[in-house]
Structure formats: C-alpha cells, structure tokens
A and B are shown apart, each in its own frame.
Chain A
Amino acid sequence: MIALLTRDLRLAVRAGGGFGLGLAFFLIVTVLVPFGVGPETGLLARIAPGVLWIGALLACLLSLDRILALDWEDGSLDLLATAPLPMEGIVSVKALAHWLTTGLPLVLAAPLLGVLLSLPQEGYLWLLVSLALGTPALSVIGTFGAALTVGLKRGGLLLSLLVLPLYVPTLIFGAEAARRGAEGLAVQTPLLMLAGISAGAIALLPFASAAVLRINLR
C-alpha cells in the first residue's frame, strides 16, 4: 500500500502537470470573483468563505478524472486488481494520494487567497480547519465518481454531474463553518457535522468505489 502511495505521489508530481493545475485553477477562480461582483471590501469579506470553499471544491473536481483514468488506459489498474492488495485498499490509497496532491495544497493555499478576498482576521483559522476537515470527504466521494465513470470515453462531464450533488452536504457544512468562523460565531456544530461526513465517507465509500471498480474491470 505504501509502495502504491509513493508511486502515485511520484507520478502526480513528476508526470503531466496535474499537480499544480488544481492550485492554479483555485487561484484563477478566486481572482475572477472580484471581477464578477465588484471590488468592495465589505462584500468580498462577506462572501469570501463561500467563494473559497466553492473554488476549492471545483479545483478538486477538476482533478478527479486523473485519479483512475491514466491507470485505466495503460492497464496498470488491471495489474493492481490482480495484486494481493484488496480493491478497497487500492481505492483508499488512490483517494489518499489525490488528497495529498490536490486537497492538502488547496487547504494550505486557501488562507493566502483569503487575503485577496479580504477575509476577516478571525476567519483564517476556521477556514483552514473546515477545509482540512472537508477536503478528505471531497477526495473520497470524488474517487467513487471517478470509479463510476472510469470506463467511459468522455466521462468528464458525466463525472461532474454525478459528483456535484454528492458534494452538497460537505459544501453546506464546510462553508457554513468557515462563514461562522469569519463572523465570530460558534463553529462547533457545522464543524462536527463536517467531520462526521468526512469520517463516514472515508469509512464507507471505499467499499462502494471498490465494488464499482470491480464491475468496470469485469
């Protein structure tokens, strides 16, 4: 499992530009928002937590089809399936690799982009915490979507259609926690719900992803 993880990480960093792409996309979305809604500081400060959450979510979505598609094309997924590692382990490692290469950089970059949107002082900590708790769920749910559409020629659009509704609860609780943090309100309830969703998704969804992947590899 560790060998697979290091392989995936090395591939993500060295081969084919997928690594920085999510971050660049996140930056561009954040830069575009003030152009769209105007540069008033008060307005930007109010919508900053939500915009940053949506930006992170879309950046995450953008990189989902890379989780499995490359391995599917060159046949290494078939090799992995015949390896002694259970399929559940494979998809978990894939999701972890996706989180380390996409989710974690997004979490770390979010406060910097918060400066651009004049996020209030109190908001940074809770933005960081909510993203750190929420992005694992995004990666795990995304892996499920990627496993569903892996066999399709042009699965990208379908992947977004399938995954975005599944992202709704995570987004609601995550953005709510970040917003409450920025406004200095109590953040405990949404953060707990967010952590619950992440924990539940990490615990249960790999089984669904593995089942789906087995069907697709049949």
Chain B
Amino acid sequence: MSIWEYANPVKFIRTTDIVLPWISAAAVLCLVTGLVWGFFFTPDDYRQGSTVKIFYIHVPAAMMAINAWAMMLVASLVWIIRRHHVSALAARAAAPVGATFTVIALATGALWGQPMWGTWWAWDPRLTSFLVLFLFYLGYMALWSAIENDDTAADLTSILCLVGSVFAILSRYAVLFWNQGLHQGASLSLDAEENVSDVYWYPALVCIAGFVLLFVALVFLRTQTEIRARRSRALLARERRA
C-alpha cells in the first residue's frame, strides 16, 4: 500500500469515486456551518461593524489561493521526477480552482476595503503580490491550453511552475520592499502573542476546513474529468486508425 498506487488512473478514479461524495458532503457541511455560524452567531466588531464577517470567505480563499499553487508545485515535481500522468493532470486541474480562489480573495478584499480603508484598491504589498500571483495563474493556464501535445504541455508547464514559484516568492519580498502596506499583519498564526479572538476563531477554522475540503473535492473531480477526456480522445484516435 503506497501512495504511488494512485498514479494508476483506473485506481485513482475508482478510489476518488468512493471518497468524492464524502469529501463533497463534508465540504458543504463545513462551509454551511462555518458561514452561518460566522455570519449570524458572532458579534459585530466594535470598529468594523458587520463588515468583519467577510473575513470568513476572504481568509480561507486567500490561504487556498497560495496552497493551490503549492499543490501544483508538488504535483509538477512528481510529474518531472516520476512521470505519473495523473499528477500532471492534477496540477492542470488545480490551476483554474486556484485562480478562482485568488479572484475571490481579491474581490472580497476590495468589498471590505471600500468601507474600511475608503478605497477598493491600494498598492499594498499583499494586494499586489496576490495580483502578481493571479498573473502567474493566467500564464500557467494559457500555456497549458496553447500546446497541443499533452506530454509536451505537461513538461513545459511544470517547469514554468517551478521557475514561477521562485519568482513569485521573489516578487512577494520585492513588493514588501517597494511599498509599506495598509493590510493588517497575520492574526491567525498559531505562535503569535495576539491573535483574533476565539469568538471569530472557531467559525473561521470551520470555514478554512470547508475551503480545504472544497478544493480537494474540486481537484479530484476535475482530475477525473481530465483523465476521462484523455481516455475518450485515445479511444477515438484508436477507432479512426482501425
């Protein structure tokens, strides 16, 4: 029993078919619980009023936007090193999901920033690095769709993902150097002295779990779709040759 068994597409589809309903149900359950709890059963912040509640979508989306890229990086490395097709397809499947999370984080941030900072957008380091991350997602997806040969596309995009990761981190710190920010510091770190209060923390935790499960479910589903699409293409090609 090793994780590499799931590099076999048939085994991958069979297993994910079993877990997918459970993960989806858990994601829905967590999201509904977390959001309802967060929206209706937590007090308004004494300065931010009810706008503070956008935090239940903004923070998990932002976390998953970064984690999705990290997952793509790992999947790309697995593809480069061990040549498992499922891994390349999983990286491809995760990109649009990650890009969507990035947009959600930017949009909810803008909605929150308008009443709080008095502006939809500021060239703050965090905001800027998220915008750059979004550009990286766009380039990655564009490269995938531009190349016809599947293996070439997988190879090129995985190298782009590696190089892009280095430059994304560089940009993150370059931007920090370039402008001082409006955005508050981390308030959910496990090791920090002062964090967000427990009233907000528990529903936020449930929401984060919900977003993680949602991401996993979407990636499983999209990877299955990619595998099936490729299989049907192979079958069609075989039929044409016969």
Contact = CB atoms under 8 A, between A and B. Distances in A.
11 contacts: A148-B160, A151-B152, A152-B147, A162-B143, A162-B160, A164-B135, A165-B135, A165-B136, A169-B174, A208-B159, A208-B163
Contact of B152 (A155, A158, A205, A215): A215
Interface of B is mostly: helix
A197 interface: yes
A110 to B, nearest CB: 21
Contact of B171 (A144, A158, A165): A165
B156 interface: yes
B138 A169 contact: no
Interface in A135-180: 144, 148-149, 151-152, 155, 158, 161-162, 164-166, 168-169, 172-173, 176
B142 A197 contact: no
B37 interface: no
Nearest to A197: B170
A149 B139 CA distance: 12
Interface of B: 132, 135-136, 138-139, 142-143, 146-147, 152, 155-156, 159-160, 162-164, 167-168, 170-171, 174-175, 177-178
Nearest to A164: B135
Contacts of B138: 161
Given A144-B163, A152-B146, A172-B178, 13 more contacts: A148-B159, A149-B146, A164-B135, A166-B167, A168-B175, A172-B171, A172-B175, A173-B177, A212-B156, A212-B159, A215-B152, A215-B159, A218-B152
Which of under 10, 10 to 19, 20 to 34, or 35 or more describes the interface residues of A? 20 to 34
Contacts of B143: 148-149, 158, 162
A165 B139 contact: yes
Contacts of A212: 155-156, 159
Interface of A: 144, 148-149, 151-152, 155, 158, 161-162, 164-166, 168-169, 172-173, 176, 189-190, 193, 197, 205, 208, 211-212, 215-216, 218
Given A161-B139, A165-B139, A166-B167, A172 B174 contact: yes
Contacts of B177: 172-173, 176, 189-190, 193
Nearest to A148: B156
A158 B160 CA distance: 13
B146 A215 contact: no
A168 B171 contact: yes
Contacts of B164: 165-166
Contacts of A155: 146
Contacts of B160: 148, 162
Contacts of A218: 152
Contact of A161 (B142, B159, B174): B142
